A and B are shown apart, each in its own frame.
Chain A
Amino acid sequence: MRHLIAFATTLLLANPAVAEDSSVRGKADAAVKAAFATAPPEWKSRLEQDETMAVCSANENAPPQALYEAIQKREAATVLYPSDGEFIGDWKKGEALAQSGYGLRFTDYPARRENGGNCYACHQLTRAEVSYGTLGPSLLGYGKARGNGPDEVKAVYAKIYNSNATAPCSLMPRFGHNKVLTPDQIKHLVALLMDPASPVNKAE
């Protein structure tokens, strides 16, 4: 169904390059189903794309303006903000979460510890950790550069909860929306980025 929607939308936008591709996309869906025929049902659901990921995949992560705005609106509506209005947790716990890549792989069951955010896989965060990836931008001094007013703090929470709410088709996982991290864990990561005491903001 979502492919019909994506297909119809691309027709409306008169983008023949993408319209041609949609039959291959349909085959890709079928091939993925067949490739994981023996996977348990809860795993098979991971292979299905929601509308956002179907649109992002079909448009090589650069959807046309109308689709871009539709994603932004839809994803922003998913963000669950903390009920106590408190966004900043414990940056030390955030640092541990940023280091951990544990969780949700087929070898991680039954779960032996909480899921990690694995931030260092893609981002530089502190001077002390030199083993960082470069798929995402450096976040060194993030809070120091922006200040940690209520709007900035809320925006960081939303970004981690659902990256697509601010940047549609971002490479970054939608950690809260996809239940990789809990709201409390996200607060710890917000602290890591925004707390003036965090090593992220102590870097010289």
Chain B
Amino acid sequence: MTLKRIVIASLALCASVGLAGRWALAQDAETERGLERYRQMMKEDPWSNPALLDADRGEALWATARGPKNATLETCDLGKGPGIVDGAFAELPRYFADADRVMDLETRLLWCMETVQGLKQADLVKRPHPAGGQPVKDLGAIATWVASKSSGALIAAGSGHPKEKEMTALGEALFTRRSGPFDFSCATCHADAGRRIRLQALPHLSEPAEAKKVVGEWPAYRVSSTHVMTMQHRLYDCYWQMRLPELEMGSDASVALIAYLADKARGGEIAAPSIKR
């Protein structure tokens, strides 16, 4: 079987997850095998991941003069110095003295787009995530590229600043904070091993061994929605499912949850962008 045929067969299997809704266990295992094969092929030929089209777009956007200040993002400091992208994602979220805040990758990009390019944060966070079938937005494309430049590195979030510890503790409190008509918190689904919603396996995110396996896989190309989903978008989607309002990109709550996840996943390998069901 050629690479292309395996990829198409795998994608067709995955697409039917979204269409059919219900699955026999055997079929599900078959899908998982298909995805695993696809992941393996991506490792052998990294260019087979559709997310890399968005990473390419992100790379171009990074170097394109935009906004009222007609500036590129090449002076944006992601924590390792202005313009340094290689390995930066592995150390996020971290404290930034210029903003006096702990920031994850997307929040930092928001900051740079506002301060360097003069774009308005309020506009950028209005509709920050793509609808199903739509490509990831510009900020997400840039995030995908930046994350890809840490692929293979180990998660080592933070710089040792005390505010990072506070943010992680806040994230833990939010992870277990139950509210809304379903009384859900993140922990409802992600604080135990080997659980599923329908047939979808749920990662035990408060357990480092499991967090290490999955946290570094975002941003990821999500086959069921045919676009790249960033970590901020992933959390927004969880809040939707929890019957809570729309989580604002760049909010302290969103940063705190990402800080908590990155802390649990410390030492895990970054494999972004990856591919998800």
Interface residues of A (CB under 8 A from B): 21, 24-25, 27-28, 31-32, 34-40, 43-44, 46-49, 53, 56-57, 60-61, 104-107, 120-122, 129-135, 171, 173-174, 178-180
Contacts and interface: CB of A to CB of B under 8 A. Distances in A.
Given A28-B177, A173-B182, A135 B195 contact: yes
B240 A46 contact: no
A34 B251 contact: yes
26 contacts: A24-B169, A24-B173, A25-B173, A27-B173, A35-B247, A35-B248, A35-B254, A37-B248, A37-B251, A39-B245, A46-B243, A46-B244, A48-B179, A56-B183, A57-B178, A104-B182, A106-B246, A122-B197, A130-B23, A133-B197, A133-B198, A134-B196, A135-B195, A171-B188, A178-B181, A178-B183
B251 A104 contact: no
B24 A135 contact: no
A28 B183 contact: no
B81 to A, nearest CB: 30
Given A173-B183, A180-B181, A134 B195 contact: yes
Given A24-B172, A34-B252, A133-B195, 17 more contacts: A28-B177, A31-B256, A32-B179, A34-B251, A35-B254, A36-B247, A46-B180, A46-B181, A47-B180, A56-B178, A57-B176, A60-B176, A122-B197, A129-B22, A133-B199, A135-B197, A180-B181
Given A36-B248, A130-B24, A133-B195, A53 B173 contact: no
B41 interface: no
A24 B244 CA distance: 21
Interface string B181-217: 1111101110010111111101000000000000000
A31 B196 contact: no
B173 A120 contact: no
B253 to A, nearest CB: 4
Contacts of B23: 130-131
Interface in B238-263: 240-241, 243-248, 251-254, 256
A53 B178 contact: yes
Contact of B196 (A53, A135, A179): A135
B170 interface: yes
A105 B22 contact: no
A104 B240 CA distance: 9
A35 B252 contact: yes
B181 A32 contact: no
A114 to B, nearest CB: 14
A26 B147 CA distance: 33
A43 B183 contact: no
B195 A35 contact: no
A35 B251 contact: yes
B57 to A, nearest CB: 27
Contacts of B24: 130
A100 B253 CA distance: 30
B170 A27 contact: yes
Interface in B157-178: 169-170, 172-174, 176-178
Contacts of B170: 24, 27-28, 31
A59 to B, nearest CB: 10
A73 B162 CA distance: 42
A173 B178 CA distance: 11
Contacts of B252: 31, 34-35
A43 B180 CA distance: 9
Contacts of A135: 188-189, 192, 195-197, 202
A88 B60 CA distance: 62
Contact of B245 (A47, A53, A134): A47
B25 interface: yes
Contact of B243 (A53, A105, A122): A105
Most chain A CB atoms below 10 A, which of B170, B183, B195, B244 = B183
A36 B245 CA distance: 7
B240 A34 contact: no
Contacts of B25: 130
Contact of A106 (B22, B169, B181, B245): B245
Most chain B CB atoms below 10 A, which of A43, A48, A129 = A43
B196 A107 contact: no
A28 B195 contact: no
Given A32-B177, A49-B177, A49-B179, A43 B245 contact: yes
